[in-house]
Amino acid sequence: MIDVPADARLMSFGYKKIFIPQRTRCCKIHLSANDFTEEAFGLLQPSSNCSDMSGLEVEELLTYMQEFRHQVCRKIQNLIDNH
Ligand SMILES: [Zn+2]
């Protein structure tokens, strides 16, 4: 078992609204590079409706959401420009 990488934790939050706390462990076969395998990602389910979040985790998620928003804004701007 290894710690779930930060990228995989952020992806699960961004795409599935599932928060995975730091230091959560997972089997190696469910990960490829810094991400979950497609199959493991599809099977991901929340195990609880609440969780403690450290200040660092809140900061990490906010930074990620900001970047996510910038990406979406850029995509929309591109669509407008190419119209
Ligand atoms: Zn696993």
Q: State yes or no: pLDDT of 51 exceeds 90.
A: no
Between the CA of 63 and the centroid of ligand 1 the distance, in Å, is: 26
| Structure-derived torsion over alpha carbons of residues 22, 56, 47, 9, reported in degrees to the nearest 10 | -60
Amino acid 65: pLDDT: 85
Here the contacts of 22-29 (C-beta below 8 Å, separation 24 or greater) are 22/54, 22/56, 22/57, 25/1, 26/1, 26/2, 27/1, 28/1, 28/2
Between the CA of 37 and the centroid of ligand 1 the distance, in Å, is: 10
Q: State yes or no: pLDDT of 78 exceeds 90.
A: yes
Between the CA of 67 and the centroid of ligand 1 the distance, in Å, is: 27
Query: For residue 33, what are the domain limits?
Result: 2-81
List, for residues 14-32, the tens digit of each pLDDT value: 889 899 988 899 999 999 9
Amino acid 45: pLDDT: 94
Q: State yes or no: pLDDT of 43 exceeds 90.
A: yes
Between the CA of 48 and the centroid of ligand 1 the distance, in Å, is: 17
Whether the model pTM is above 0.75: no
Q: How many domains does the chain have?
A: 1
